[in-house]
Structure 1
């Protein structure tokens, strides 16, 4: 039987503004991975104690139209204490990852989790861009190999599948880091 890695936060996946516990319980300082809908469900955000939302999807407001802007404004009005970080990634194999930016955001995620504050990382579907950031976070802050982090994320959110361009860049980043050790 596989043993769960010893990481200070628990990981959950969310979908349709709902969340299912992956390790059997909810507590402060959890990491959530999902699509954009949970980011606008104020009851969900409050119930999970989410204080940081990381949006990895570029142009959601453009693709989702005025309803997206209205939902965002509503959430900000109801929950002004939630910090939001936007990483403008296109889900394209040609999209270049800015590892300096990803490192800064991963550090911020880690700060929140260490302070027992929950974090939601999302993109449009919770499949490629957000999964890429969570994999990078696990690599950077929990000394997991990229392949191990990918398997963990995919075991917790089966639809998680970073696009091939992101996977290649993550693996190259790992190889570069190994060479500098």
Structure 2
């Protein structure tokens, strides 16, 4: 049995990756936590799927874009997000950093966690 989360992300510098990252990261996390696996793919496995995995690593491992890209390249050396995707991943890094800062501030005063809104 398979669960699918198709995301038609274009293979160009203007593709909207950022708006899909929260949902994709959650989908992959749920698959792994339920004992399953996740397959992320695109046509060549260089730009789009690589960028998605870098974003996933950033959100789940609390690491920077550069660190996540290095981890992804250890597993698949050809991973090379296009400039537009790389820029969105740097924005994602900033968003995750702000979320972490807010969560840490909230932890000092309450148990409430900040939820990321959908990115459009």
Report the TM-score, using the length of structure 1 for normalisation: 0.52
Matched, 1:107 2:26: yes
Count of equivalent residues: 100
In structure 2, the residue corresponding to 1:83 is in which secondary structure?
coil
- Seen in structure 2, the aligned counterparts of structure 1 residues 147 and 112 have a Cα distance that, compared at 3 Å, is same
In structure 1, the residue corresponding to 2:54 is in which secondary structure?
helix
Summarize deviations over 1:37-80 as a string: whole Å, max 9, x none: xxxxxxxxxxxxxxxxxxxxxxxxxxxxxxxxxxxxxxxxxxxx
> 1:129 corresponds to which residue?
48
**Equivalent residue runs for 1:73-112 within 5 Å:** 81-99=1-19, 101-112=20-31
C-alpha distance in 2 between matches for 1:86 and 1:113? 17
Matched, 1:174 2:114: no
> 1:153 corresponds to which residue?
72
CA contact (8 A) 2:59 2:96 kept: no
C-alpha distance in 2 between matches for 1:98 and 1:157? 22
> 2:38 corresponds to which residue?
119
* Richer in strand (by share): 1
* Structure 1, unaligned runs of 5 or more: 1-80
Deviation at 1:177, TM superposition (A): 3.5
> 1:164 corresponds to which residue?
83
Q: Give the alignment's Cα RMSD to 1 decimal.
A: 1.5
C-alpha distance in 2 between matches for 1:172 and 1:105? 16
Deviation at 1:179, TM superposition (A): 4.3
In structure 1, the residue corresponding to 2:63 is in which secondary structure?
coil
Bigger drift between 129-138 and 110-119 goes to 110-119
* Richer in helix (by share): 2
CA contact (8 A) 2:18 2:89 kept: no
Larger Rg: 1
C-alpha distance in 1 between matches for 2:27 and 2:95? 23
